[in-house]
Amino acid sequence: MLVMPANNASSYVHYWAGRQQGLVGHLWSPGRNISYYPWLPYMLDNGKYAAVAAGRTWDGNQFIQHCNHAMTLPVMPRWIVVPDEPRNAAQTLKLWQEWEPILRPYAVPLAFAIQDGIEFEQIPQSANVCFIGGSDAWRYPRLEAIVERGHANGKLIHVGRINGHKIWLCDRLGVDSIDSSGWFSGPYPRAILEHYFRYRVGEAEPPSADQLNLLTVEPEGNSYFEQFCRVQPKPNFWRHRIPPNIEREHLLQAMEHWADVPAKHQPTKFVVVHEGKLFPPKLLIARANVYANGTYWFPHLFSGGEKLHRFLRHRGFDIVQIAELGYGRNP
């Protein structure tokens, strides 16, 4: 089951994405910059629920801009949630008829949001994904039946707003993916999420059915991720620690699947030049480690400077001062 912490690109997400492929993804809403990373699959939300919950008017033009931006990225989203009307079955069905013809030209699978009162027979046959929204009181008694019938009809099943023990229910029912923006609202939901991740990578046992309401989890401070970030080898070693098994092939893979450079990682002095494209040296190492060791290697774990440059030169890459040629983002 793919877990999508909505609109969250924290290092915690990258850590677990590196631990196991297919464990973590992204669900991006309109108004948020899509942070694309080749090791994280992503989907596009329509932002309707957030707008209604906040008492805002939903902006259809912003949603279209959101979709258009995704089309410029190296990889397309796995699916797009067609605009719906939370807790309103009739309006949701009407919006599908209105928006499906607009979104089909993107050639991306479309998700139909199931709201209170929608029967399975009313789900459009052309929908590729059943996105189970609606109130908890309405959807949970029907969840098992929707999953079973949806899979029998060749549809993926996604459940929204899962940020607690219901993650185990979804896993046991065979749900394909879930999302929530609440996993990082405090140590308790984050601990539940980590328990699930540990289970998926073979480091923890799942709770039994009668434990779900009394589940005990390790405090956040004992999490694998926290331990990973707090390890402090000798300062001189730590400051220059570049994983030594990163080879040229891993660097080339990172370049092949390159994503936009976040503002905080824009280079200030040097760039790697390869086939006419420019890459920030530290970020290149950080991303190449995904292909070498399965984990994003945070740039704060090692220093730049001559050691980094020598490491890259030994693998056949040119390091050039920005002042000599200017710096522009790769297309």
Of 193, 227, 261, which marks where a domain is finished? 227
Q: What is the CATH number of the domain that holds 86?
A: 3.20.20
Which residues lie below 8 Å from residue 170, measured CB to CB, with a gap of 6+? 1, 143, 159, 162, 178
Are 117 and 194 within one domain? yes
**Is 221 contained in some domain?**
yes
Are 263 and 194 within one domain? no
**Is 330 contained in some domain?**
no
Are 149 and 253 within one domain? no
Are 283 and 319 within one domain? yes
260: left (phi over 0), alpha (psi -120 to 50) or beta: beta
Total domains present in the chain? 2
Predicted structure pTM score? 0.70
Are 50 and 185 within one domain? yes
Are 242 and 217 within one domain? no
Are 161 and 261 within one domain? no
Of 188, 206, 227, which marks where a domain is finished? 227
Report the distance separating Cα 246 and Cα 285, nearest Å. Answer: 8
**Is 331 contained in some domain?**
no
Cβ(75)–Cβ(38) under 8 Å? yes
Are 80 and 177 within one domain? yes
**Is 94 contained in some domain?**
yes
**Is 163 contained in some domain?**
yes
Q: What is the pLDDT along the chain (331 residues), one digit of tens a residue?
A: 999 988 777 777 888 888 888 899 999 999 888 888 888 899 999 999 989 888 899 999 999 999 999 999 999 999 999 999 999 999 999 999 999 999 999 999 999 999 999 999 999 999 999 999 999 999 999 999 999 999 999 999 999 999 888 899 999 999 999 998 888 777 678 778 888 998 998 888 887 655 554 334 333 334 444 544 444 443 343 344 788 889 999 999 889 888 777 777 788 889 999 998 999 999 999 888 878 876 677 787 787 888 899 999 999 999 999 887 754 444 3
Are 193 and 307 within one domain? no
Of 227, 261, 289, which marks where a domain is finished? 227
Write out the residue range of the structural domain in which residue 207 sits: 2-227
Are 218 and 279 within one domain? no
Are 219 and 240 within one domain? no
Are 53 and 193 within one domain? yes
